[in-house]
Amino acid sequence: MDGVTPAVENLKQEWVQSISQLQGTIQAIENCGKSVNATKEVNALSRLNEAGQDRLASLRSMQFSLDLLAQQLPTMEEVQLGQALMETWKEQYQRLHMGLRNANLCAKENMKKAAQEERELLLGGGEESTVRRRHLQIKAGMTSGAESITESFRRTHHMMAQEVEQSASTLATFDESASILRKVQSEYEGHGPMLARTHGLLSTMKYENVTDR
């Protein structure tokens, strides 16, 4: 079938690239845990495992694609070669899957060993232990200072938010008062002509009262 053979060849190239990437990931996982920075190592291990699982999923998808394409190859010989390649891929996948698992066990053992060495160094005597303890104390002090600064910023932000809220409330009150004053002024201006007429009427009545006398 046209296009099937090139598709299989492209799939082979993708498989080789993915295999190489996964092998690099497995090697990186095996080396995790050898640093004294435990937090950094744990984060790196988590990211590497996510990458490893993604590549395993990609390999499974390629196996499925090869299984479909192999049945559509133009000659029986090519079909048989495709099926043989499929078996080879399955074996490679199983080895890599097991390799990823073993790499994680190795990384955990490395972390355990590094933690033990760190404890022995801190609890032991000598200049190196003293320097290490001081270093950790300084680091803890810096962390505490950073947390204190963060808390101070948080309190300042809260106070500023309260002031802004109070200012907004005051402005709203001013706006309401101004609206009431405008309404009173409008009503007063509306009563102006009536007051003028009333004043004129009173003046007329007063004049008539005087003349009647």
Q: What is the pLDDT of residues 152-169, one digit of tens each?
A: 656 765 666 566 566 556
CATH number for 29: 1.20.58
Residue 142 within a domain: no
Residue 35 within a domain: yes
For 2-24, how does the pLDDT look when each residue is reduced to its tens digit (9 = 90+)? 689 999 999 999 999 999 999 99
For 10-63, how does the pLDDT look when each residue is reduced to its tens digit (9 = 90+)? 999 999 999 999 999 999 999 887 765 656 777 888 899 999 999 999 999 999
As for how many domains the chain has, the answer is: 1
133 and 60 Cβ atoms separated by less than 8 Å: no
Residue 48 within a domain: yes
Taking CA 127 as the corner, what is the angle to CA 122 and CA 130, rounded to the nearest 5 degrees? Answer: 40
Nearest CA-CA partner of 50 in 34, 29, 30 = 29
Residue 45 within a domain: yes
| Mean pLDDT within 180-207 | 63
Residue 54 within a domain: yes
Residue 19 within a domain: yes
Residue 158 within a domain: no
Residue 163 within a domain: no
15 and 59 Cβ atoms separated by less than 8 Å: yes
Give the range of the structural domain holding residue 76, as residue numbers without chain letter.
Answer: 4-123
Q: Which residues contact 108 (CB under 8 A, 6 or more apart)?
A: 33
Q: Tell me, yes or no, if the pTM score tops 0.85.
A: no
